[in-house]
A = this chain, B = another copy of it.
Amino acid sequence: VRLLIVGGSDAGIMAGLEARAVNPSVEVTLVVADHYPNFSICGIPYWISGDVADWRDLAHRSRSDLERAGLELRLGERAVELDPGEREVTVVDPSGRAEVLRYDTLVLATGAHAVRPPIAGLEQLGPTDGVHLLHTMDDAFALLGDLERRAPSSALIVGAGYVGLEMADAFRRRGLDVTVVDALPQVLRTLDADLSALVAAELDVHGVVLRTASPAKAIEAEGAAIRLSGPGVDLRADLVLVAAGVRPNVELAHRAGAALGAAGALAVDRCMTTALPGVLAAGDCVQTHHRLLSEPTYLPLGTTAHKQGQVAGANAVGVRRRFAGSLGTQVVAVFDLVAARSGLNGAEAEKAGFDVATVTIETDDHKAYYPGARTITLRLIAERRSGRLLGAQMVGAASTSVAKRIDVAAAAIAAGLTVSDVADLDLSYTPPLGSPFDPLQVAAGAWSAGAC
């Protein structure tokens, strides 16, 4: 059995590893557009910041690990055509030489492209002008090269999402003046606005200038600087990073007749199969089943890509497995603050038609008498009638472990627990690390006493 995988990031690699684990006789070939298979895209901001000294460490596994696991890697090759009828993929190597690869089963793990928002002049500017995207290792090399070569003293970041804020942190660590611009009125749109305001305050404390509700409309080189302008916006900086999210990379499959689903991502079922015979797909190029939503959504996340890749790999070798579903669980560390969410936020719950009641508390992460207690702001969203937990959001200092506390909520949501069930959980307690009623349970009690 020949399994061909297009894409060498989280989903593609996991598909290959899982297929080999399930059926060690399967021949697995990965077509990888760059030379960095299995690199942690999520880790790039920490290499730029200097926290990670060597970019090679960003690889989840080394090339030889992957080859030892039985994956044949075709690095630097781009898949340019898919013929699902003939079960063939045409690839082009760096020298331009084309080759046709035959497969029995194909897994598309083509990932996503960084979005270039509609800013006049953006298409004409690139890394050599000091204007960067940040989605691939090559993007990262270009950015770090620019930082080292020109030693810019100021940066503009377009986009106040996860990557934009991680990069604001990274640039500040490198000593740059940083301004973050976003068309939306808040940072981190995945959080409710009032909780995202806590993150905005943390940015302010650390000297990041925030310009929300400020749509950038035009960009141009102005001497050695870059000028970004729009209604009420006229900013200059030595360097611009566009971190405006990603869009699914579906061109190869779409030209071959694959259907598109949520947000233009590839339509797949929960076994990660497309409608094309013998073609599966996983990761940032596909739509995602959400445990709480009746319709698929688009949630390009590393955790999801890993799991979907495993499911695709198992199904590719004939072992039926279903992707259990995402909850959009996310966490981001911004300076000393951590913001985490799981399930639906207020707007998402409303859009999905749930009648919800919500409660928000502020409480200490551990008993106040023990030194170092810090505030956690915690929101629970639950179905008004049934009390079924639908979402949780938490913001707190790094020491408050909100990154793991959110996982308790994620487990509770996945298991269909009610707020009252959460109040009844037997959670751990010792004064330096907690309270007899965990913050999640304090919130659950407050919800039952009178959420609105």
Residue in A303, A371, A407 with the greatest tally of chain B CB atoms within 10 Å: A407
A405's nearest neighbour on chain B, judged by CB, is B404
Whether, in the assembled complex, A327 has its beta carbon less than 8 Å from a beta carbon of chain B, the answer is yes
A324 at interface, CB cutoff 8 A: yes
List A residues 335-350 near B (Cβ within 8 Å).
Answer: 338, 340, 342
- Copy count, this protein chain: 2
Complex Cα distance, B50 from A371, in Å, reads 10
Across-interface contacts of A52 in B (CB, < 8 A) = 369-371
Query: CA–CA, A307 to B424, complex, Å?
Result: 8
Contact of A369 among B40, B328, B342 (CB under 8 A): B40
- Whether, in the assembled complex, A110 has its beta carbon less than 8 Å from a beta carbon of chain B, the answer is no
By a CB distance below 8 angstroms, the chain B residues around A436 are: 10, 42, 60, 302-303, 305-306
Q: Are A331 and B410 in contact (CB under 8 A)?
A: no
Interface residue A377 (Cβ < 8 Å from any Cβ of B):
no
The reply to whether A426 and B327 form a contact with Cβ atoms under 8 Å apart is: yes
Question: Chain B residue with minimal CB distance to A412?
Answer: B411
Which of B327, B398, B429 contacts A331 (CB under 8 A)? B429
> How far in angstroms is the closest Cβ of chain B from A410?
6
- The distance in angstroms between the C-alpha atoms of A160 and B328, with both chains bound, is 43
Looking at the assembled complex, report how far the CB atom of A57 sits from the nearest CB atom of chain B, in whole angstroms. 4
A257 is an interface residue with CB less than 8 A from chain B? no
How far is B43's CA from A432's CA once the two chains are assembled, in angstroms? 9
Q: How far does the alpha carbon of A326 sit from the alpha carbon of B425 in the complex, in Å?
A: 8
Q: Are A411 and B404 in contact (CB under 8 A)?
A: no
Are B415 and A412 in contact, with the CB atoms below 8 A?
yes
Contact B431 A407 (CB under 8 A): no
**In the complex, what's the smallest C-beta–C-beta distance from A380 to chain B, in angstroms?**
14
Cβ–Cβ contact A433 & B303, under 8 A: no
Considering only CB atoms and an 8 Å cut-off, how many residues of chain A contact the other chain? 69
A407–B406 CB distance below 8 A: no
Selected contact of A426 from candidates B410, B427, B431, CB within 8 Å: B410
Q: Do B417 and A411 have beta carbons less than 8 Å apart?
A: yes
- Cβ of A51 under 8 Å from chain B: yes
A251 CB, nearest partner CB in chain B, Å: 26
Q: Is the CB of A304 within 8 A of B405?
A: no
> Are B426 and A326 interface neighbours, CB within 8 A?
yes
A60 nearest CB across to chain B (Å):
8
8 Å CB contact of A429 from B51, B303, B369, B438: B303
B-chain residues with CB within 8 Å of residue A369 when the two chains form the complex: 40, 43, 46, 52, 57-58
B433 contacts A333, CB within 8 Å?
Answer: yes
Identify A330's interface contact among B327, B410, B428, CB under 8 A: B428
A328 to B307, CA, bound (A): 31
A243, chain B: closest CB distance, angstroms: 15
The answer for the CA separation of A398 and B399 in the assembled complex, in Å, is 10
Q: Does A401 contact B (CB under 8 A)?
A: yes
Max chain B C-beta neighbours (<10 A), residue from A340, A425, A428: A428
- CA distance in complex: A427, B301 (Å): 11
- Judged by a CB distance under 8 angstroms, whether A332 is at the interface is yes
Q: Which of A43, A306, A332, A436 has its CB near the most chain B CB atoms (within 10 A)?
A: A436
Q: How far is the CA of A425 from the CA of B306 in the complex (A)?
A: 12
Beta-carbon contact of A324 and B415 below 8 Å: no
Contact of A355 with B by CB under 8 A: no
A and B contact pairs by CB, cutoff 8 A, 29 listed: A42-B430, A42-B431, A42-B436, A43-B367, A43-B369, A46-B432, A58-B369, A303-B429, A324-B421, A324-B425, A325-B424, A328-B426, A331-B429, A331-B433, A331-B434, A338-B433, A342-B426, A342-B428, A401-B404, A404-B433, A406-B428, A408-B408, A410-B425, A410-B426, A411-B411, A411-B417, A412-B415, A414-B424, A415-B417
